[in-house]
C-alpha cells in the first residue's frame, strides 16, 4: 500500500514540472554551474508556473496546495541534479519562517513575491565561529526607538547573492543567556549597511550562490523582527524538522537517481563478452544499493506523512538526515566504482551528483549533531 496518496492532480503537476524543467532549466545548467549563479529569470519562471511555495494560501499569492506538491518539486529537481534554484530551501525552509512568524503587514508585503519568484529568500544563521553551535553567534541587533541596528557577518549563505530578503538570526548583546538573546529579523536587499560577498568556489552545489553577508550599522524597522524579542532560538528549533526532511529526502532522491543512471549504464556496457549487469558481483552491488534505497524511501514517505499530520518526529528526522545523506554519499562512490572511468568524465552526470551529494552530511546540521540529538532522545 502506498504511504503517500498522490492524486491525479499531483501527477498532472509533476508532468507540467518535468516538461518545464526540460525546456527552461536543463539547457542552462552548464552555464549556471560555470558562473556559480542562477539567473533571476529562472526563479521568476518557476514562480510564474506555480512551482515555488505551492502550499501558500491564495490570499498570499499561493495556490493552497498540500505538502506533497513541494515533495514533487524536490524530487524532480533532484532528477535533473540541479542545485542552483534551491527551491526546497526557499519554498519549504525560509518562506515558512515568514509565513509562521511575521506580522500580517509583512506577510502581505513579502509572501506574494516569494510565490512569484520576484523575491528570493535566504536564511542566515551560520557565522565563521558559529556553525553547529548556532548559539555562539556574535552578530548583534540593538533596538533604538523604532529601529534595530545590526552589526556583524554571516557565512555560507545559500541564495546569498540572489536574495532579496534575508531571515537573519542575531543577538541582543545585553542578554547574557546564549539562547534567550537571539531573535530573527527580516532584512531587505539594498538596505543601507547590508552588503554581500562574492560567490564561493566550493565543492559541489556550483550553481548555488553561496556567500557571506555583512551588516554594518544596518538599520531596519522594529516591525521587521519576527515574533517577540528573544524568541529566535525556539523558532529555529521549531522549523528544523521540516528543513531536515527536505535535506534527507533530497539525499534519498539523489541516491535513487544515481542508482538509476548506474542500472542503465550496466545494462548496456559490456565487459568480458557480456553486459556489466550480468556479472554477479555487479548484480549484488546493485541489488544491495537498490534495497537500501527502497527501505529509506519507505522511511522518507512515512516521515513526510507523519510531518503532514503534524507529529513531532525529531528523533526520526535526525535519523533520516544522518542515514539518507550517508547512504547518498556511499552510493555516489560505489556507482562511480561500478561504472568505471567513463563515469569520471565531466561529460557524464555522475561527477556533479557525486560532488553535490558530498556536502549534504554537513549542512542542515552535521551528521555528528544528528547523532547527538538521537543519543539524547534515547536517554544516553
Ligand atoms: C553548501 C552549504 C550551504 C549552506 N547554506 C547555509 C545557509 O543557507 N544558511 C546558514 O545559516 N548556513 C548554511 N550553511 C552552513 C552550515 O549549516 C554549517 O556548515 C553547518 O551548520 C556546520 O557548521 P560548520 O561548517 O561551522 O562546522 P563546525 O560546527 O565547525 O563543525 C566541524 C566538525 O565538528 C563537528 N562538531 C561540531 N560540534 C560538535 C558537537 N557538539 N559534537 C560532535 N561533533 C561536533 C561537526 O560535526 C563537524 O564534523 C551551509 C553550508 C554549506 C556547506
In this structure, the answer to whether residues 361 and 248 fall within a common structural domain is: yes
CA–CA gap between residue 336 and residue 289 (Å, rounded): 13
In this structure, the answer to whether residues 74 and 163 fall within a common structural domain is: no
Quote the domain boundaries for residue 57: 8-119
pLDDT per residue as tens digits for the range 220-272: 999 999 999 999 999 999 999 999 999 999 999 999 999 999 999 999 999 99
In this structure, the answer to whether residues 128 and 174 fall within a common structural domain is: yes
Ligand 1 atom nearest 169 alpha carbon:
11
In this structure, the answer to whether residues 293 and 364 fall within a common structural domain is: yes
Ligand 1 atom nearest 128 alpha carbon:
26
Name the residue of 121, 122, 132 to mutate for ligand 1: max ligand atoms within 8 A of Cβ. 132
pLDDT per residue as tens digits for the range 305-329: 999 999 999 999 999 999 999 999 9
Q: Which residues are catalytic?
A: 243
In this structure, the answer to whether residues 253 and 222 fall within a common structural domain is: no
CATH number reported for the structural domain that contains residue 188 in this entry: 2.40.110.10
Quote the ligand 1 centre to 134 CA distance (angstroms).
9
Mean pLDDT value of segment 278-292: 97
Residue 2, in any domain of the structure: no
Ligand 1 atom nearest 367 alpha carbon:
47
Quote the ligand 1 centre to 90 CA distance (angstroms).
19
> pLDDT at position 87, please?
86
In this structure, the answer to whether residues 94 and 127 fall within a common structural domain is: no
- Taking the model in full, what pTM does it have? 0.96
Does ligand 1 lie within 6 Å of residue 359's CB atom? yes
Name residues whose C-beta falls within 8 Å of residue 235's C-beta, 6 or more positions apart in sequence: 97, 100, 101, 184, 226, 227
Mean pLDDT value of segment 179-197: 97
Does ligand 1 lie within 6 Å of residue 205's CB atom? yes
Residue 188, in any domain of the structure: yes
Angle at 342 between CA 336 and CA 348, to 5 degrees: 80
Q: Last residue of a domain, which of 230, 247, 273?
A: 230
Does ligand 1 lie within 6 Å of residue 125's CB atom? yes
Quote the ligand 1 centre to 196 CA distance (angstroms).
20
pLDDT per residue as tens digits for the range 340-360: 998 999 999 899 999 999 999
Residue 62, in any domain of the structure: yes
Does residue 225 sit in helix, strand or coil? strand
CA–CA gap between residue 325 and residue 360 (Å, rounded): 6
Q: Does residue 363 surpass a pLDDT of 80?
A: yes
Ligand 1 atom nearest 130 alpha carbon:
26
In this structure, the answer to whether residues 166 and 98 fall within a common structural domain is: no
CATH number reported for the structural domain that contains residue 349 in this entry: 1.20.140.10
In this structure, the answer to whether residues 303 and 365 fall within a common structural domain is: yes
Residue 1, in any domain of the structure: no
**Total domain count for the chain?**
3
DSSP secondary structure string for all residues of 87-153? HHHIIIIIHHHHHHHS-HHHHHHHHHHHHHTSS-EEEE--BTTBSS-GGG---EEEEETTEEEEEEE
> pLDDT at position 95, please?
98
Quote the ligand 1 centre to 55 CA distance (angstroms).
29
Q: Last residue of a domain, which of 211, 230, 249?
A: 230
Q: Last residue of a domain, which of 214, 230, 246?
A: 230
CB 282 within 8 A of CB 271: no
Q: Tell me the β-bridge partners of 142.
A: 149
In percent, the amount of the chain with pLDDT more than 90 equals 98
In this structure, the answer to whether residues 199 and 288 fall within a common structural domain is: no
Residue 1 — very low, low, confident or very high, per pLDDT cuts 50/70/90?
confident
Residue 3, in any domain of the structure: no
In this structure, the answer to whether residues 106 and 194 fall within a common structural domain is: no
pLDDT per residue as tens digits for the range 141-184: 999 999 999 999 999 999 999 999 999 999 999 999 999 999 99
Residue 48, in any domain of the structure: yes
Name the residue of 121, 124, 156, 237 to mutate for ligand 1: max ligand atoms within 8 A of Cβ. 156
Residue 217, in any domain of the structure: yes
In this structure, the answer to whether residues 292 and 248 fall within a common structural domain is: yes
Amino acid at each position: 500500500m502506498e504511504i503517500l496518496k498522490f492524486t491525479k492532480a499531483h501527477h498532472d503537476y509533476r508532468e507540467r514540472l518535468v516538461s518545464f524543467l526540460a525546456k527552461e532549466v536543463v539547457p542552462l545548467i552548464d552555464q549556471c554551474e560555470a558562473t556559480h549563479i542562477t539567473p533571476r529569470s529562472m526563479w521568476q519562471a518557476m514562480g510564474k508556473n506555480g512551482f515555488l511555495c505551492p502550499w501558500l494560501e491564495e490570499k498570499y499569492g499561493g495556490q493552497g496546495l498540500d505538502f506533497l506538491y513541494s515533495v514533487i518539486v524536490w524530487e524532480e529537481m533532484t532528477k535533473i541534479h540541479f542545485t542552483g534554484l534551491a527551491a526546497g530551501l526557499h519554498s519549504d525552509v525560509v518562506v515558512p519562517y515568514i509565513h509562521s512568524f511575521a506580522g500580517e503587514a509583512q506577510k502581505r508585503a513579502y509572501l506574494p513575491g516569494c510565490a512569484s519568484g520576484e523575491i528570493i529568500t535566504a536564511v542566515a544563521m551560520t557565522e565563521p565561529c558559529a556553525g553547529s553551535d548556532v548559539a555562539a553567534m556574535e552578530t548583534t541587533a540593538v533596538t533604538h526607538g523604532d529601529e534595530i541596528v545590526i552589526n556583524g557577518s554571516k557565512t555560507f549563505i545559500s541564495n546569498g547573492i540572489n536574495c532579496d530578503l534575508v531571515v537573519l538570526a542575531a543577538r541582543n548583546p545585553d542578554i547574557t543567556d546564549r539562547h534567550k538573546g537571539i531573535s530573527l529579523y527580516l532584512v531587505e536587499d539594498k538596505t543601507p549597511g547590508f552588503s554581500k560577498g562574492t560567490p564561493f568556489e566550493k565543492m559541489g552545489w556550483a550553481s548555488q550562490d553561496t556567500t557571506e553577508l555583512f551588516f554594518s550599522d544596518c538599520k531596519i524597522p522594529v516591525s521587521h523582527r519576527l515574533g517577540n524579542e528573544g524568541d529566535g532560538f525556539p523558532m529555529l528549533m521549531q522549523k528544523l524538522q521540516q528543513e531536515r526532511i527536505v535535506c534527507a529526502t533530497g539525499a534519498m532522491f539523489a541516491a535513487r537517481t544515481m542508482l538509476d543512471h548506474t542500472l542503465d549504464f550496466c545494462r548496456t556496457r559490456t565487459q568480458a563478452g557480456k553486459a556489466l549487469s550480468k556479472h554477479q558481483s555487479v548484480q549484488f552491488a546493485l541489488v544491495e544499493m537498490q534495497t537500501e534505497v527502497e527501505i529509506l524511501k519507505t522511511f522518507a514517505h512515512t516521515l513526510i506523512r507523519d510531518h503532514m499530520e503534524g507529529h513531532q518526529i525529531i528523533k526520526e528526522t535526525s535519523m533520516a538526515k544522518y542515514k539518507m545523506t550517508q547512504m547518498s554519499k556511499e552510493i555516489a562512490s560505489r556507482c562511480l566504482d561500478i561504472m568505471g572511468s567513463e563515469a569520471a568524465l565531466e561529460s557524464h552526470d555522475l561527477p556533479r551528483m557525486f560532488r553535490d551529494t558530498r556536502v549534504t552530511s554537513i549542512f542542515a546540521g552535521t551528521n555528528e549533531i544528528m547523532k547527538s540529538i538521537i543519543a539524547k532522545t534515547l536517554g544516553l
